[in-house]
Amino acid sequence: MSDSEFFLLLLPFLSALYWILNLCRSRNPSLNLPPGKMGLPFIGETIGYLKPYSATTIGEFMEHHVSRYGKIFKSNLFGEPTIVSADAGFNKFILQNEGRLFECSYPRSIGGILGKWSMLVLVGDMHRDMRVISLNFLSHARLRTHLLNEVEKHALLVLRSWRENCPFSAQDEAKRSRATILKFIEEKMNERLERMKSDENENEEDDLLSWVLKHSNLSTEQILDLILSLLFAGHETSSVSISLAIFFLQDCPSALEKLQEEHLMITRAKEQSAEKELNWEDYKKMEFTQCVINETLRLGNVVRFLHRKALKDVHYEGYDIPCGWKVLPVIAAVHLDASLFEQPHLFNPWRWQQPIVDWIRNKRFRDHPMTLDMRMLVLVNGSNRGGVSSSSASTSSNNFMPFGGGLRLCAGSELAKLEMAIFLHHLVLNFTWELADSDQAFAYPFVDFPKGLPIQVRPFHS
Ligand code: HEM
């Protein structure tokens, strides 16, 4: 018998042993584990947890478990003993303690697809190095100088191909929009490699590939895995977010009207100047658009939960979280929590608006030049009258984390928002649209429209 055959034979016994050990641990009376149940052997409660549900809800499993056990409960998911959190404070605690008490821990299949050097599976120093490279590539300066123009060019390419009264899948179109951007990157990469071969890369621009080649000693395999993880992390997320915005807006005419007004004002102001393309100043004026984007991300929850594991025994609010247990911060559950957001299932971009109005009215800030980022910070951290109860309850950064947080905060969050805003700008200025067939977003748990969100568009000039 070969070693691998012997190992395969042993595997079920080892898994059974692991499960029994964890079961004993979960019943250890000296530990104060959160309430909950471990479900069936091995599969635990995974099937119930992954059962598809409407993306604008938290699903039956979470609803049932939160109402029965509270916002922090134990379970057995993905074959491992797990602590599930729908608690804003605990979610933040988990993300802020990355590398100290908790660590990113995605299922092995992710590493298999994206490669062992992918940022989503790396931890420690190697993750930090890869992250620095990505953040440089997606920096604020590059967004202003390079990426804004590219995003606009490719958004226009997609929108110009739309035909009147021809129903199509908005989701496919959104993916196509992303695909054209990706194709552009791929072409650039091939050109660069060609030029490198012929030693013509002396004055190369600082894009991801150049930056990696110049400023790191990553191997080819590491470079490819890094690029692949950026593409993976940014591809579906952005296209689904744009589809969600299209979906929510067609059902909320008042928000659409307000959005159109904002973008009309921007184009009218541009008519005075010779410049046709959008620039950073125009982007900064898209304040209501940012509210629409925030609300789309809050209600649509493209990324619903994150995968972590406890690096050591952790005590939180009287509960014990044993070392090695899986920990799932469910960010969607916080975004849809009725105690934090008033009428959480309603698409209401105005709930994000009040802090900006307060900021403009506030004499202290009137003459202070704030960047869009600073304003969004006010928006996320400041007071919110659209939300529930007291001042900063719903908009505190604990309660709104569509891009995660801590050391693993999404590296492409600013690019994603830029893509959404530019696409919406040209969409609302040029088209009206309606659903060609009823459809709605589902969480599988990845968010998708079962019918691909079929819409019928009508250009304004017709
Ligand atoms: C609306 C669109 C997007 C959403 C909702 C989103 C959400 C997230 C979330 C929640 C995380 C944290 C994962 C974790 O902590 O385990 C993350 C990480 C990441 N995102 Fe995004 N993302 C979006 C778009 C993008 C784009 C456009 C890019 C790049 C082009 C990107 C690149 C990344 C990368 C590289 C990471 C890993 C960061 C790290 O581990 O340090 N994302 N994203």
Q: What is the dihedral of CA 428, 430, 432, 434, to 10 degrees?
A: -90
CA angle 232, 302, 348 (to 5 degrees): 145
Nearest CA-CA partner of 94 in 405, 460, 410: 405
- What is the distance in angstroms between the CA of the first residue and the CA of the last residue of the chain? 75
The predicted pLDDT at position 315 comes to 96
Question: Which residue ranges make up each domain of the chain?
Answer: 124-440
Q: Which two tokens stand for residue 269?
A: 């102001």
Give yes or no for a contact between 37 and 49, defined as CB atoms under 8 angstroms apart: no
Pairing outcome for strands 454-459 and 447-448: unpaired
* Integer Cα distance of 302 and 357 in angstroms: 28
Q: Which pLDDT belongs to residue 291? A: 97
How many contiguous H segments (helices) and E segments (strands) does the chain have? 19, 13
C-alpha distance from residue 362 to each of 71, 358, 375, 381, 384 (Å): 37, 6, 13, 16, 15
pLDDT attached to residue 184:
62
Q: What integer pLDDT is reported at residue 252 of this predicted model?
A: 97
How many angstroms separate the alpha carbon of residue 139 from the centre of ligand 1? 14
What's the topology of domain 124-440?
Cytochrome p450 (1.10.630)
Tokens of 136: 């440089």
Pocket of ligand 1 (CB under 6 A): 104, 119-120, 131, 134, 229-230, 233-234, 237-238, 241, 297, 302-303, 306, 402-404, 408, 410-412, 415-416
Ligand 1 atom at minimum distance from 406 CA: 15
Provide the whole-model pTM.
0.84
- Location of structure tokens 């605990």: 90
Which residues, 6 or more positions from 65, have their beta carbon under 8 angstroms from its beta carbon? Answer: 36, 73, 75, 84
Annotated ligand binding at 410? The verdict is yes
Average pLDDT, consecutive stretches of 10 residues, N- to C-terminus, the chain (462 residues): 59 60 65 91 90 96 97 94 97 96 87 76 90 88 89 90 70 62 63 69 62 73 78 86 97 97 94 88 96 98 96 96 97 96 96 64 41 40 33 63 95 96 96 93 93 91 56
pLDDT of residue 225: 77
Cα(233) to ligand 1 centroid in Å equals 5
How far does residue 134's CA lie from ligand 1's centre (Å)?
11
**Residue 373: what pLDDT?**
38
DSSP category for residue 133: H
> Which mutation among 246, 400, 410, 418 tests ligand 1's pocket best, with the greatest number of atoms within 8 A of CB?
410
